[in-house]
């Protein structure tokens, strides 16, 4: 085997990561279907909730949502319209800068998502508890690093003029 060819273990590992990503994606699809939403709407709602819980985050704007989800302005507007009609978000003018629109999730949206995804968290905790602190630290470091790398790749690919990898 050449030094760049993946080993059988790395192939199996990649397949396990793909299976995990697929299951997480399917859970998100099921949540969307259960709420009568598009999967893009759920991604938007999750981004809005994450923004609200991030320390020092001024809150989500339509432009930032457009950038994060790689959508057109029209698609973001349609998505926000659907989320607003469903009672999950509200848009308001920024108090400091009236030209800026801020998007906030309504209290019921976080509770709804929480109730749907709580069993995911419970099962994650059950599996996490099977590993000792040192193993958890390694897994946590791996997940943080792979997330950073994949985020970097996504950003590179979205950057005009950047080559594909």
CATH of the domain at 98: 1.10.10.10
Q: Using CA atoms, how far apart are residues 73 and 90, in angstroms rounded to an integer?
A: 17
Alpha-carbon separation of residue 34 from 3, 29, 49, 84, 112 (angstroms): 47, 9, 19, 17, 11
At residue 1, the pLDDT reads 46
Entry pTM: 0.70
Q: How many residues does the chain have?
A: 165
Residue 87 lies in a domain: yes
Residue 152 lies in a domain: no
pLDDT band at 134 (very low <50, low <70, confident <90, very high): very high
Of 115, 55, 105, 53, nearest to 84 by C-alpha is 105
Range name among 111-115, 147-151, 152-156 with the lowest pLDDT average: 111-115
Structure tokens at 133: 């602190």
Taking only the tens place, the pLDDT of each residue in 102-121 is 898 888 877 887 788 899 99
Q: Domains in the chain: how many in total?
A: 1
Alpha-carbon separation of residue 38 from 17, 30, 75, 142 (angstroms): 25, 10, 12, 31
Residue 37 lies in a domain: yes
Strand partners, 153: none
Residue 39 lies in a domain: yes
Residues in Cβ contact with 165 at an 8 Å cutoff, skipping those fewer than 6 apart: 153, 156, 157
Residue 17 lies in a domain: no
Q: Using CA atoms, how far apart are residues 1 and 42, in angstroms rounded to an integer?
A: 43
Q: Phi and psi for 93 in degrees, rounded to 5?
A: -75, 140
Taking only the tens place, the pLDDT of each residue in 35-87 is 888 889 988 998 998 888 776 667 789 999 998 898 999 999 999 999 999 88
Q: Phi and psi for 94 in degrees, rounded to 5?
A: -65, 135
The range of the structural domain enclosing residue 80 comes to 29-121
Residue 78 lies in a domain: yes
Residue 12 lies in a domain: no
Supply the mean pLDDT for the chain. Answer: 86
Strand partners, 103: 60, 91
At residue 140, the pLDDT reads 95
Residues in Cβ contact with 101 at an 8 Å cutoff, skipping those fewer than 6 apart: 61, 62, 91, 92, 93, 94
Count the neighbouring beta carbons within 10 Å of the beta carbon of residue 44: 28
pLDDT band at 163 (very low <50, low <70, confident <90, very high): low
Residue 59 lies in a domain: yes
């Amino acid at each position: 085997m050449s030094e760049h060819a993946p080993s059988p273990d790395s192939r199996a590992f990649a397949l396990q990561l793909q299976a995990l990503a697929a299951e997480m994606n399917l859970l998100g699809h099921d949540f969307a279907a259960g709420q009568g939403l598009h999967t893009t709407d759920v991604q938007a709602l999750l981004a809005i909730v994450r923004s609200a819980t991030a320390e020092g985050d001024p809150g989500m704007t339509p432009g930032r949502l457009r950038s994060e989800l790689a959508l057109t302005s029209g698609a973001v507007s349609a998505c926000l319209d659907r989320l607003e009609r469903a009672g999950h978000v509200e848009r308001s003018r920024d108090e400091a800068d009236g030209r800026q629109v801020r998007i906030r999730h309504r209290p019921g949206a976080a509770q709804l998502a929480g109730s749907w995804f709580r069993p995911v968290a419970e099962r994650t905790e059950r599996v996490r508890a099977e590993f000792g602190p040192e193993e958890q630290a390694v897994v946590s470091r791996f997940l943080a690093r792979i997330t950073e790398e994949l985020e970097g790749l996504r950003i590179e690919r979205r950057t005009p003029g950047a080559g594909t990898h």
